[in-house]
Amino acid sequence: MQEGCGKVILLGEHGVVYGRPALAASIGSGATAEASAFGSNCLEVEPWGVRLELPPPLSSVPHSLERAFEAVLNTYAERPRVRVQARVSLPAGAGLGCSAALGVAVIRAIDAHVGVTRSPAEVAEASLVWERVFHGNPSGVDSWMAAGAGLALYRKQRPLEAVKAERPLPLVIANSNEPSSTATMVDGVANRREDDEVGVEALFDDIAELVLKGRTAVEAGDLPLLGSLFDDNAALLCALGLETQKLESLCTAARSAGALGAKLTGAGGGGCMIALVADSAAGEAVMAALRECGVEPFYTEAS
C-alpha cells in the first residue's frame, strides 16, 4: 500500500502562492492507494464511494478526479493501464491537504506497479499536475508535505529547507465543518491583490516575516513565541478576508482554554483551525472547550 501524508500549514498560507515562505508539517497518513493491472483505467476512492473509469462516458462532464487521474496517467512515457484503489482518511476541503495526499498516494501506487522509482521531491513535482486540477494555481506546499517532507520551510521553486524542531509541536486541530474551496479562496486573494497590490503585498511581507521568526521559534523550542506568531498570522489572514465567524470563535475558545495561539490553517473561508498548546494535557483542555463549540478536534504533534 502506498501513502500520501496530510499536512498542516503552521504559518504562511496564501503568501506562499506569491513566493513568500511557509512553515508546514506533514501529519501522518492522509491517503493510501494500491494499483493493479486492468484492461483500461479505473480509480476507486473510499470512503467516498467513487468509482471512475477512463475514458468517461461521452455525455458526462468530467469529474475533477477524472481530469486529475487523466493528467497523472499522461505523465508516464507509456500510459499505464491500471485500476487504482485508494482510501482517504482526511476531510476534503478542510485545509489538511486531502487532494495532495490522494494525488501522491495514486502516483506512488502507479509507480510501484509499473516499476518507476522516484525521490520524494520527484513525487511532489509529479503530483503537481494532479493538484492543479483542484487548486488552479497551487504553491506546491501541499504536494511537498504530502510526499512526506516532515517539518519544513517551503518556498516556491526553491529547495525545501528542513526545520529541526527542538521539541515536537503539540497541536490541536478542529474542522469548522464549513466547506471551503482552495481555488475560490486563492482567487479571492488574487482579486484583492489586483484592487490593492501595495496593501496586499505588504500583508504578504508581514506574513513572511513572522514565518521566519516562527522557524527560529521552532528551532529554539520556544512554544510561547510560536503561539503568539499563530495569533499574529491569524490577524493578517483576517485582514485578507479569509476568516469566518466560526473559525474566529473556535480560535477564541481555544485561546481562552489555554492555547498558546490559534489560527486557521490552509485556504480559510472554512476548513480547519489549529491551536498550539504547551503539551498533551493542555491539549485535552483545549479539545474540551472546542467540543463545547460543537466540533470534533484531534491532537497531534508535528516534528
Binding ligand PMV by CB under 6 A: which of 4, 120, 138, 269? 138
Which residue, 32 or 233, has its beta carbon nearer to ligand PMV?
Answer: 233
Which residue, 247 or 267, has its beta carbon nearer to ligand PMV?
Answer: 267
Rounded to the nearest whole angstrom, what is the least distance from the CB of residue 80 to ligand PMV in the complex? 27
Which residue, 16 or 35, has its beta carbon nearer to ligand PMV?
Answer: 16
Contact flags string 224-263 toward ligand PMV, x per CB under 6 A: ----------------------------------------
Binding ligand PMV by CB under 6 A: which of 17, 128, 149, 160? 17
Which residue, 26 or 139, has its beta carbon nearer to ligand PMV?
Answer: 139
| 3-class secondary structure per residue, the chain | CEEEEEEEEEECCCHHHHCCCEEEEEEEEEEEEEEEECCCEEEEEECCCEEEEECCCCCCCCCHHHHHHHHHHCCCCCCCCEEEEEEECCCCCCCCCHHHHHHHHHHHHHHHHHCCCCCHHHHHHHHHHHHHHHHCCCCCHHHHHHCCCCEEEECCCCCCEECCCCCCEEEEEEECCCCCCHHHHHHHHHHHHHHCHHHHHHHHHHHHHHHHHHHHHHHHCCHHHHHHHHHHHHHHHHHCCCCCHHHHHHHHHHHHCCCCEEEECCCCCCCEEEEECCCHHHHHHHHHHHHHCCCCCEEEEEC
Q: Does 97 bind ligand PMV (CB under 6 A)?
A: yes
Contact flags string 155-184 toward ligand PMV, x per CB under 6 A: ---------------------------x--
